[in-house]
Structure 1
Amino acid sequence: MKDDLVKLGFCKFENAISQEWVGKINNALPKIFEEHEKMRRENNNPISSNGLAMNALVGNEILFDFLQHIIDLKILDWIEENYFNAKCILNSFTALSNIPGEDKVFHKKVHRDIRGFSSDVPLMLNMLVMLDDFTTENGATLLLPSSHQNSEVPSDEDFMKNSVQATGVAGDIIIWNSNLFHASGTNTTQTVRRGLPITFSLPFYKQLLDYPRAIGYEKYDVFNEKMRRILGYDARVPGSVSEWYSPSDKLLYKN
């Protein structure tokens, strides 16, 4: 798998998640999507999809439990050892439903999930947990092999000609170098195709959401040491010189 991640920019963990976990998350998603759509409308946010919940982790205990499950499965250990060669933290945690016929939301466009191009620096990594079977018909994610090695943005024509679809079954996990160009495919079926796009980054890279602040600094002791680190509680920025000089056991920047 490591060779594929290095050469192609992506690899797959087959049957990584049990069907029990797949079912529990899928049962929770309708309410999550509804809450996020309501929030977007109230805030006049331009995202116009009821199949997208950005930063879905916050406020949803089932997703916290699932993130802990990913940790317990040692998948993050593998990623830290074979990709980052260092400790990493959560950068984003999203829930996504590829709705039939929907083509205008941002994740349908050819893109990479990292600003700029980090070259050989393993700054960020994408993880996609498949919650339904990913097929050609329901718009399995399109990946452009080896594009993580090139700073140039491919044309839409070249991308469609040379990309491959990340097909798989519910419970599979695919990961890719965040320099890799990708896009959601078009769902031509009559049913949704669900997944959890999650990203991890080196601790100094700014999170998409300030998870410790959003979850609550007072909840630090609720989580075990590994979960606290992954959530970013040990990679915070001091807010004053006094905080900078905190005693060792109170430091905010332990990573």
Structure 2
Amino acid sequence: MAKTINIKEISSTIERELPTNGVVRVSGLVNDEFVERLRQQCLSSIEIESQKMGTADYDGFGRLLFAPVYGGAFLELLELDFIADLAKTYMGSEPILYTMTTSCVAPNQSNYTAKIHRDNNIRPAGCVRLLVMQILLDDFNEENGSPMFLKGSHRKETEPSNKRFDAEAQMITGKKGDVIFFDPWIWHRSTKNQSNQWRSCVLLGFVHPWMKQRFDVKPMLEATDLSGCSDKVLGVLGLKNTPPKSWSEFYSNNKPIY
């Protein structure tokens, strides 16, 4: 499933680029066979959620609320070594998912990400490092909705004007299987998909284990088969991140469970 990956080399690239620029693309981290399975599960799950909504005409169309609830390839993605390893190295602690979603743009449409935005509007005291990974499931090009990033804007408090963003932001294109790593505070947006095919990707946002996740993950995953998940993935999902609930539970463990 995974290609041979030099974690140390990629970590160095992320460490060099993100503090200054806020974004970097790394080529070929996921192979074509797994990319296609992941892409198909994205699109079928989007169809399920649009049926729940009763329409495809809503702001979040193309975004799954919390992808791991659908199991399958979404959980397998979290098993890939580079996912947790790169997040841990960059953030300096065991990462947990803030959320895991999709940003898929239907043919000849835009979606909710077309507005200039940050993925996190609250910067913790001391500028604690957080990380987002965007897994490309199609070739991203100038026609099909590739994202625009304003490099360095994660180091600024103020929102850029539309004029400045349009003048200075750079489009990041790439091949399926590439991963775009970025700081959630960077200003960015998607562009319109002017092709006749879906443009698909998965987004994973990571936070530190002492931070709150977007959802109460345990009940969210109550109906999901997690029997095939490794302890590593259960940890990334935040399911091993529960604070001790009693004096005896705290002291019965050789190391804290939070």
Cα deviation for residue 119 of structure 1 reads 7.0
- Aligned pairs (5 A) from 1:181-200: 181-200=187-206
- C-alpha change, 1:48 and 1:106, in structure 2 (3 Å) is closer
Distance in 1 (CA, whole Å) between partners of 2:57 and 2:246 is 39
Distance in 1 (CA, whole Å) between partners of 2:247 and 2:57 is 42
- C-alpha change, 1:161 and 1:246, in structure 2 (3 Å) is farther
Provide the residue aligned with 1:254 in structure 2: 257
2:58 counterpart of 1:55: no
Deviations 1:102-151 (A, max 9, x none): 23x43111111112334752353111000000111111111110111011
2:77 counterpart of 1:66: yes
Aligned to 2:103, the other structure's residue is in SS state strand
Deviations 1:15-51 (A, max 9, x none): 0000011111122233211111122339xx9934542
Give the unaligned 5+ runs of structure 2.
1-12
Provide the residue aligned with 1:18 in structure 2: 31
TM-score by length of 2: 0.84
Aligned to 1:99, the other structure's residue is in SS state coil
Partner AA of 1:66 in structure 2: L
Deviations 1:67-103 (A, max 9, x none): 212xx2x34212211x211111011111222123323
- C-alpha change, 1:228 and 1:250, in structure 2 (3 Å) is farther
Aligned to 2:68, the other structure's residue is in SS state coil
Distance in 2 (CA, whole Å) between partners of 1:54 and 1:33 is 9
Partner AA of 1:96 in structure 2: S
Q: How many residues align?
A: 244
Farther-moved stretch of structure 1 (134-143 vs 167-176): 134-143
Partner AA of 1:102 in structure 2: Q
Provide the residue aligned with 1:84 in structure 2: 91
Aligned to 2:25, the other structure's residue is in SS state strand
Provide the residue aligned with 1:136 in structure 2: 142
Distance in 2 (CA, whole Å) between partners of 1:90 and 1:153 is 26
Partner AA of 1:132 in structure 2: D
Is 2:243–2:257's contact at 8 Å kept on the other side of the alignment? no
Aligned to 2:116, the other structure's residue is in SS state coil
Give the unaligned 5+ runs of structure 1.
none
- Aligned pairs (5 A) from 1:1-255: 1=13, 2-41=15-54, 47-48=58-59, 50-69=61-80, 72=81, 74-81=82-89, 83-103=90-110, 105-118=111-124, 121-216=127-222, 223-237=229-243, 243-248=245-250, 254-255=257-258
Aligned to 1:66, the other structure's residue is in SS state helix
Q: Tell me the C-alpha RMSD between the 2 structures.
A: 2.7
TM-score by length of 1: 0.85
Distance in 2 (CA, whole Å) between partners of 1:98 and 1:129 is 14
Is 1:89–1:203's contact at 8 Å kept on the other side of the alignment? yes
Is 2:68–2:221's contact at 8 Å kept on the other side of the alignment? no
Is 1:93–1:196's contact at 8 Å kept on the other side of the alignment? yes
Aligned to 1:16, the other structure's residue is in SS state coil
Distance in 1 (CA, whole Å) between partners of 2:211 and 2:119 is 13
Distance in 2 (CA, whole Å) between partners of 1:186 and 1:56 is 23
Partner AA of 1:116 in structure 2: I
